[in-house]
Structure 1
């Protein structure tokens, strides 16, 4: 099982991922959409490591976090069996959003970089809402 750990930099974490055959395309490199999956998993594990229980948030507060914007740069291709790291950094916390910079690295080599805006959404009303104070405190203290 992979574990997430803080790197010592403010609001930054690293999540390891291995490239499996199912992650690659016909050319033998990671299919472009899978970088987004790697980043999604890293953000989810980041929340879990902070003690944020997403199913509980939905059940008790009717809140979910959804991707509202992505800017992605595909720099180099990863290949089968590569050991990668997804480096996630919270770069801003807004009233209803978190913004992450995420990089997929193979050692010191940067393969992918993305900026992800994550919105806090009232699931029943399907609209953005303020991040609850208790969650905001968790995100702001994650240094």
Structure 2
């Protein structure tokens, strides 16, 4: 599947007292990129919940931290669909330092994230609608 890219700039709110990105904020960056990946495929999460009664939730996350990002750095966050099952999707995501327009520098962090589909009312696992799978895998 094609790789999606989302740019992010590092602000004070993203860093610790030393100006280094707080490790948990990479999860927020990855979440934003996944949301924008869905939007790029015409999927609005609130609308999806209203129309289907279901929603995605993170069920597994494996993150590796390789290098630090700092205040004012520009990053490129990627998302790539690796697996599409009946009730979950697996995406791989990376955070790169951006060295210039369209140019990636050092790999800062990488993750493998499983998002499961649940009934939004009961939060019970459910099958992803086939029309949604088709939209995300084409």
Report the TM-score when normalising by structure 1.
0.89
**SS class of match (1:121):** strand
In the alignment, structure 1 residue 119 sits paired with structure 2 residue 94: no
In the alignment, structure 1 residue 19 sits paired with structure 2 residue 10: yes
Find runs of 4+ consecutive structure 1 residues off by over 3 angstroms: none
TM-aligned CA deviation for residue 28 of structure 1: 1.2
Cα deviation digits, residues 64-102 of structure 1 (max 9, x gap) = 111001001011110011010001111111111110100
TM-aligned CA deviation for residue 108 of structure 1: 2.3
Unaligned residue ranges in structure 2 (runs of 5+): 98-103
CA–CA distance in structure 2, aligned partners of residues 93 and 119 of structure 1: 10
How many residues in Structure 1 have an aligned counterpart in Structure 2? Answer: 132
Q: Counterpart of 1:6?
A: none
In the alignment, structure 1 residue 59 sits paired with structure 2 residue 50: yes
RMSD: 0.9
Q: Counterpart of 2:38?
A: 47
CA–CA distance in structure 1, aligned partners of residues 18 and 113 of structure 2: 27
